[in-house]
Structure 1
Amino acid sequence: MKHTVQPPKAKKVLKTLSMHDDVRHDDYFWLNDRENQEVIEYLNAENEYYEVMTSKYKDFEHSLFNEMKARIKEDDESVPYKYNGYWYIVKYETGKDYPIYVRKKDTLDHPEELLFDCNVMAQGHDYFKLVGLSVSPDNTMIAFGIDTVGRRNYTLQIKSLLTDEMYLDAIPNTTGSATWANDNKTLFYTVKDEKTLRSDKVFKHKLGSASTNDLLVFVEDDDTFGVAVYKSKSKKYLIIACYSTLTNEYHILNANTPDGEFSVFQERIRGLEYSISHYDDHFYIVTNADGAVNFKLMKTQENLTQFNHWTEVLPHRDDVLLEDIDIFKEFLVISERANGLNQIRIKRWDGSDDYYLPFDNETYTAFTTTNVEFDTNILRYGYNAMTTPSSSIDFNMVTKEKTILKEQEVLDPNFHKDNYESERIWATSTDGVKVPISMVYKKGMIKDGTNPVLLYAYGSYGHTIDPYFSSIRLSLLDRGFIYAIAHVRGGEYLGRRWYEGGKLLQKKNTFTDFIECSKYLIAEKYTSSKHLYALGGSAGGLLIGAVINEAPELYNGVIAAVPFVDVVTTMLDNTIPLTTGEYDEWGNPNDPAYYAYMKSYSPYDNVKKQAYPHILITTGLHDSQVQYWEPAKWAAKLRMNKTDDNVLLLKTNMNAGHGGASGRFEALREDAEEYAFLLDLENITV
């Protein structure tokens, strides 16, 4: 495909990087400076090129946006949940882009009380995000965090729910979340390091005092750990959580005595992962202790919390991953995963009942949701499938009756879930391991190799991409696309070992799994290389970058959203956000073995002289997770090396970060841009 418009070319400034007697040359290292006007000019030039190259289908892109937006109910509200005597609701109003938070006392018939109207608060900001709503035990105050940049760096404030006045000066550089002690006067919150954005300090604020007088309660000195602070569901304990990829440590304090000293629950032991939940006079512990790879459930008395006092409640199982628990007064609810599928198990504390919720699909997602009430027989959970819109369901754990509180409305008269089919198939990777693929398509699909397929994956941090419903995705399915999720190693779809088989010195399994899934879809005639497309974001963008270096011939086009592609350089820079906390995921390149392995797959370091598919790369100038310069450098290097005439586009959102645009419908514009890119490559323009 010949283009008359010439793409921008970033200037080359040679930078030599040496480590372990190895030398790398980086011509685009200079892009690592957002204060440099020349950098901004280059990003703007790429954006202008993007606009020119996509101008031919802009009208189609706008119609896609309107089509996606039209399926979503604008005048909508969440299912209410009750907490401490109040019903809490999130509402959306027609024509408005941000949520409105309200509550009602005692009953849903009670007059509505406005907490926040984010539409008003967002005025004058290109980006706006409200997080961490935390109501005081006496229901008179609320703490909250605001980000107006997109860098996930929140300013914390407290508001009176009686007068709407602010209680303290704004506190910058926080995680946005805070936790009240039971005295309604003391608030604990977490602060981030200004440069690395690592959450490393816990402070205590006394209502009525200046925030400058806040007391430092805890400091996390290990730069591979982050910290958080919260309250147990039983409301008895304040808990400081110290976390890294492989290790946990908790500190506890009675919430009635906020001026006391936190005590360590169980000292950190490298490789010991655990989480704690309080019930009655015991703590319940989900842990990998004693080699429980898929985790097991243990308990201990609340005054004897060290590991040697823990006793087993639910044993480890090789074929079932224990993901989480929800504790109620009469019931223990266990979230599990077996053969990739979600399971919800309900067990009475007295042992008189023990059963699973029934699910009969292979491409569904089920999960417990907002269960903040302790003394209740009602479990709230969510369910959806690739062909079925999401539902919020209340399940009576005594009578076993379920009430569907809300089903996602798809405002499209032509939408009927029976018009679509889903299935799960299994590809074989290079080492013989079977890799599952969940897919959905419109009924009547014929396997003749001509179907366009969008294959998506993530494959890192043990984060599982479950098969889920998307009304946005209908814009692809209705135009003949198959949408598929490759459940590659690096996620936890098939248990903890599935994660461990795709990290550190086995990271390449993630990429080979994806490549073999792609080959399988072609071999089975779901599609062909002329009609196969790949999509991944963040660490999934790393996947895309690695895959197109190794097997570019398999794809007609790819989308890499906010991609982590300059692995070696980033992991050697401990001054930027996330790096030190990621060593247990990717390895520490200060170790020669990890350095060499990272370099062997790092997308930026392995760009070569070869033909690449059509490529769309997106990023955000204020991204805190993957710095903008990684995709910018990658795009520049790809331009200089690719031997094809395929289109390469880099789009930088100059007003947002890792999550993209903040408005409810503004984010749809980015989806429309990506879909228009794919559909244009298929010559589908209506």
Structure 2
Amino acid sequence: MHTADTAALPADDGASRLAAAHPPVPRKAPVERRHHGDVFVDNYEWLRAKEDPAVVAHLEAENAYTEAVTGHQQPLREAIFNEIRSRTQETDLSVPMRKDGWWYYNRMQEGKQYAIHCRVQARDTGDLAADWTPPQVDPGTAVPGEQLLLDGNAEAEGMPFFALGGTAVTKDGNLFAYAVDNSGDERFTLRIKDLRSGQLLPDVVENVFYSPAFSPDGSRVFYTVVDQTWRPHQVKCHVLGTSVEADTVIHQEDDPAMWTGFDLSADRRHLVVSISCSEYSETRLLDFADQDSGLRTLIPRAERILYDAEPFLLDGRQMVLLTHNKDAVNSMVSLAALAEFDKPVAEQEWATVVAHDDAVRVNGAGVTASHVVLSVRKDTIERVQAIPLAGLGTGAQAAPAEPGFDEQLFTAGFSGSDYEAPVVRLSYTSFFTPPRVYDYELATGRLWLRKETPVLGGYDRSAYVAGREWATAQDGTRIPLSVLRRAGVRQDGSNPALVYAYGSYEHSMDPWFSTARLSLLDRGVVMVIAHVRGGGEMGRKWYDDGKKLRKKNTFTDFVDATDWLAASGWADPARIAAMGGSAGGLLMGAVANLAPEKYAAILAQVPFVDPLTSILDPELPLSALEWEEWGNPIEDPAVYAYMKSYSPYENIRPVPYPRIAAVTSFNDTRVLYVEPAKWVARLRELGTGSEPVVLKTEMDAGHGGASGRYEAWKDAAWDYAFVLDALCAVKPVNV
């Protein structure tokens, strides 16, 4: 049995604290936005001028006010930080992954912020079980023959920010490429290290995007470049030992609504260039054996098919495995000879590998030398399946095999494989099972547990419960909910609660383990993850029903999930908070306007709360790419009117809003700091309530927050302390 910790603070502490702190009041500089006959007057658009000292001063004043209002939460932040740290094995390592005759892994050391990247030579004895069993690597103990590739801590020394944008090793194992960001703006500097000598090559490429890759012969490195709107638009090739100015553009994408990326095919015979939006795509191949022939288009974008392609050799023939939505809303998998793509699409012959199923979403398919590996979603759950290549696409094809797990709610994913490997690496987790690493033996279906992330401090997963419930939306749609709690929490209507969701881009809130979340649950909080429309949990239609002119379903689903929680007996209706980030931050802004009275507090992380202003300006980072998600308000008056009707910034009302915190980063390139800065200013201007509205800006961070694991723990502690304080649930409870 437990009671709410309502005596955590003196009754007048909050009032006296607010009386002593005054929020900064930004000046008003009216700017008129005119579109489709509508005029919107924006008083705070001047905050977009990032280089203006007045803007920086305002953000610093906001930070000072936030600390004045929330400074009493510091002991709680420290308690949560220490709880996270006490449960984490700080000196730890990843499970070695075999590739090209080496085992690659990362070490984490106590007191260090960043990973140390290492490798050790593999052996080939002819005993597959022995040769593909990862070497035993103990925390703090070097492995004989261990080679240091990169120490993130040394790279980060003296820098305000550090993040890796990808690494790559040549097939012969001699060269190591890595991309580093030292500001948080996701523009990386690419460097190359000779692992034989330990020396850096003179080749340095600035302003690259994520995931560089070497050509199979190791003579070239491929990378992407973003344009002025932060859209990846070029795939380039640098020949080692030559001037960067001579780098070749492999592909340049001029359509502002298309995103460009690349990868190597699994067998490394092709460079695969992918050009896509959320509704259709185009794949182009560069054959490394015939590079002079240039890029070869498979299905042109004019066909309006959304697909991924994996070229590979099957019985000596060059084939392509397609995951596509042609006549298949949830996607399916087909097989075709590469030569078929010389014909018009209507004349091509594709064999079915995985047929379309209204109840199963096919998310992707890859290949090894012996199997197709599938990622599918059924009953909201991400699963992995495998099909032998023998007989693929014929009547002799074997049925998909799937590893079995013993939990109802879990996430299983394919996390990599050497092409020739007899096993594939799987990741597994659930809400209360820490991340596991398995090797899945393709020929036998056997699972080899390689590691479960340790949770220290006497963690007992049986002390927690995760269950599936369903809320009913206003239109009768059933909304899946994941309900998390301590096992002893009673369904008596007295508990604090937190509702969390995302609901955009077909991104699913799959079950995941969080050490930080335990600090919430241990204080009696019931957490509900609402799988609202706009996500991908229930298939492609679930996503389509929460985007463009149906976007409001995302917001009303969240409110309906909150109503379910308030009526379920699991929560005190007066002690429910809401949390979401990025597009989930847009969701927070929308529900704050829709139903402010239903929440004791709202935490909006890097929130996209001024979407119409951003998407109306195609020069802003990534704006044009967003048209496939939200619609194009520049060209379509109906889209403009619809977005204006839900834009959080433009629909603030003179009502009492709950306690609100907006957390953002000054160098975020995805959701600019100006959106939450303007939102907070207008909430204070128009809101009629007495609860504080605060803005916390990390001045040296990007979209993911500050760099370094300890800084990330501090961020989580700040966020959860804000929520717990608002819910009067600051101390652990006995349940």
TM-score range for the pair, normalised by the shorter chain length: over 0.9
Partner residue, 1:298:
334
Aligned residue type for 1:92 = M
Query: Which aligned pairs between 1:120-139 and structure 2 lie closer than 5 A?
Result: 120-139=154-173
Determine the C-alpha separation between the residues in 2 that align with 1:167 and 1:446: 62
Partner residue, 1:9:
25
Partner residue, 1:612:
657
Partner residue, 1:358:
404
The equivalent position to 2:319 in structure 1, one of 282, 297, 314, is: 282
Aligned residue type for 2:277 = S
Aligned residue type for 2:328 = A
- Contact residue 661 and residue 667 of structure 1 kept, 8 A: yes
State which drifts further: 475-484 or 597-606.
475-484
Partner residue, 2:101:
85
Aligned residue type for 2:640 = Y
**Ranges in structure 1 where 5+ consecutive residues have no aligned partner:** none
**How far did residue 270 of structure 1 move?**
5.8
Query: Which aligned pairs between 1:521-536 and structure 2 lie closer than 5 A?
Result: 521-536=565-580
Partner residue, 1:94:
110
Given the superposition, is the C-alpha separation of residues 184 and 520 from structure 1 closer, same or farther in structure 2, using an over 3 Å criterion?
A: same
Partner of 2:684, secondary structure, is helix
State which drifts further: 12-21 or 178-187.
178-187
Partner of 1:304, secondary structure, is helix
State which drifts further: 465-474 or 42-51.
465-474
- Contact residue 523 and residue 730 of structure 2 kept, 8 A: no
- Contact residue 276 and residue 283 of structure 1 kept, 8 A: yes
Partner residue, 2:306:
273
**Ranges in structure 2 where 5+ consecutive residues have no aligned partner:** 1-13, 124-134, 136-142, 391-396
Determine the C-alpha separation between the residues in 1 that align with 2:706 and 2:380: 32
Partner residue, 1:113:
147
**How far did residue 171 of structure 1 move?**
1.8
Query: RMSD across aligned C-alpha pairs, in angstroms?
Result: 1.5
Given the superposition, is the C-alpha separation of residues 270 and 447 from structure 1 closer, same or farther in structure 2, using an over 3 Å criterion?
A: farther
Aligned residue type for 1:357 = P
Query: Which aligned pairs between 1:303-318 and structure 2 lie closer than 5 A?
Result: 303-306=339-342, 307=345, 308-318=348-358
Partner residue, 1:467:
511
- Contact residue 182 and residue 256 of structure 1 kept, 8 A: no
Aligned residue type for 1:461 = Y
- Contact residue 101 and residue 117 of structure 1 kept, 8 A: yes
Determine the C-alpha separation between the residues in 2 that align with 1:543 and 1:272: 29
Aligned residue type for 2:329 = V
Partner residue, 1:644:
689
- Contact residue 390 and residue 407 of structure 1 kept, 8 A: yes
**How far did residue 169 of structure 1 move?**
4.0
The equivalent position to 1:385 in structure 2, one of 430, 435, 455, is: 430
- Contact residue 533 and residue 545 of structure 2 kept, 8 A: yes
Partner residue, 1:659:
704
Partner residue, 1:541:
585
Q: Does 1:183 align with 2:199?
A: no
Partner residue, 2:7:
none
Partner of 2:284, secondary structure, is strand
**How far did residue 94 of structure 1 move?**
1.2
- Contact residue 104 and residue 112 of structure 1 kept, 8 A: yes
**How far did residue 7 of structure 1 move?**
1.1
**How far did residue 353 of structure 1 move?**
5.7
- Contact residue 529 and residue 556 of structure 1 kept, 8 A: no
Partner of 2:322, secondary structure, is strand
Partner residue, 1:678:
723
**How far did residue 380 of structure 1 move?**
1.9
**How far did residue 127 of structure 1 move?**
0.6
Given the superposition, is the C-alpha separation of residues 182 and 377 from structure 1 closer, same or farther in structure 2, using an over 3 Å criterion?
A: closer
Determine the C-alpha separation between the residues in 2 that align with 1:637 and 1:452: 29
Determine the C-alpha separation between the residues in 2 that align with 1:166 and 1:353: 49
Give CA-to-partner distance per residue, 1:60-106, whole Å, 9 cap, x none.
21121111112111110001100111110011111100111011112
**How far did residue 256 of structure 1 move?**
3.4
Aligned residue type for 1:363 = L
Partner residue, 2:621:
577
State which drifts further: 112-121 or 380-389.
380-389
Partner residue, 2:85:
69
Aligned residues: 682
Query: Which aligned pairs between 1:367-406 and structure 2 lie closer than 5 A?
Result: 367-371=413-417, 373-406=418-451
Partner of 2:640, secondary structure, is helix
Determine the C-alpha separation between the residues in 2 that align with 1:570 and 1:252: 34
The equivalent position to 1:480 in structure 2, one of 514, 524, 529, is: 524
Query: Which aligned pairs between 1:426-505 and structure 2 lie closer than 5 A?
Result: 426-505=470-549
- Contact residue 225 and residue 242 of structure 1 kept, 8 A: yes
Determine the C-alpha separation between the residues in 1 that align with 2:430 and 2:248: 48
State which drifts further: 227-236 or 540-549.
227-236
Determine the C-alpha separation between the residues in 1 that align with 2:370 and 2:63: 57
Partner residue, 1:344:
384
Q: Does 1:54 align with 2:54?
A: no
- Contact residue 363 and residue 385 of structure 1 kept, 8 A: yes
Determine the C-alpha separation between the residues in 2 that align with 1:168 and 1:159: 9
Determine the C-alpha separation between the residues in 2 that align with 1:217 and 1:342: 35
Partner of 1:405, secondary structure, is strand
Partner of 2:200, secondary structure, is coil
**How far did residue 642 of structure 1 move?**
1.1
Determine the C-alpha separation between the residues in 2 that align with 1:188 and 1:540: 33
- Contact residue 203 and residue 241 of structure 2 kept, 8 A: no
Aligned residue type for 1:501 = D
Partner residue, 2:374:
334
- Contact residue 401 and residue 445 of structure 2 kept, 8 A: no
**How far did residue 302 of structure 1 move?**
2.3
Determine the C-alpha separation between the residues in 2 that align with 1:501 and 1:596: 18
**How far did residue 260 of structure 1 move?**
4.2
Partner of 1:282, secondary structure, is strand
Partner residue, 2:231:
198
**How far did residue 564 of structure 1 move?**
0.3
Partner of 1:473, secondary structure, is helix
Determine the C-alpha separation between the residues in 1 that align with 2:67 and 2:236: 47
- Contact residue 541 and residue 565 of structure 1 kept, 8 A: yes
Partner residue, 1:31:
47
State which drifts further: 83-92 or 323-332.
323-332
Aligned residue type for 1:648 = V
Partner of 1:436, secondary structure, is strand
Determine the C-alpha separation between the residues in 2 that align with 1:252 and 1:442: 52
**How far did residue 445 of structure 1 move?**
1.6
Give CA-to-partner distance per residue, 1:28-58, whole Å, 9 cap, x none.
0110111111111110000001111112121
- Contact residue 120 and residue 145 of structure 2 kept, 8 A: yes
The alignment's TM-score, normalised by the length of structure 1, stands at 0.97
Aligned residue type for 1:294 = N
- Contact residue 265 and residue 312 of structure 2 kept, 8 A: no
Given the superposition, is the C-alpha separation of residues 10 and 177 from structure 1 closer, same or farther in structure 2, using an over 3 Å criterion?
A: same
Given the superposition, is the C-alpha separation of residues 164 and 256 from structure 1 closer, same or farther in structure 2, using an over 3 Å criterion?
A: farther
The equivalent position to 2:194 in structure 1, one of 141, 160, 164, is: 160
- Contact residue 183 and residue 256 of structure 1 kept, 8 A: no
Partner of 1:285, secondary structure, is strand
Partner of 1:170, secondary structure, is strand
**How far did residue 385 of structure 1 move?**
1.5
Partner of 2:27, secondary structure, is coil
Determine the C-alpha separation between the residues in 2 that align with 1:484 and 1:67: 22
Aligned residue type for 2:686 = N
Q: Does 1:319 align with 2:359?
A: yes
Query: Which aligned pairs between 1:141-160 and structure 2 lie closer than 5 A?
Result: 141-160=175-194
State which drifts further: 442-451 or 174-183.
174-183
Determine the C-alpha separation between the residues in 1 that align with 2:473 and 2:662: 27
**How far did residue 6 of structure 1 move?**
1.4
- Contact residue 179 and residue 229 of structure 1 kept, 8 A: no
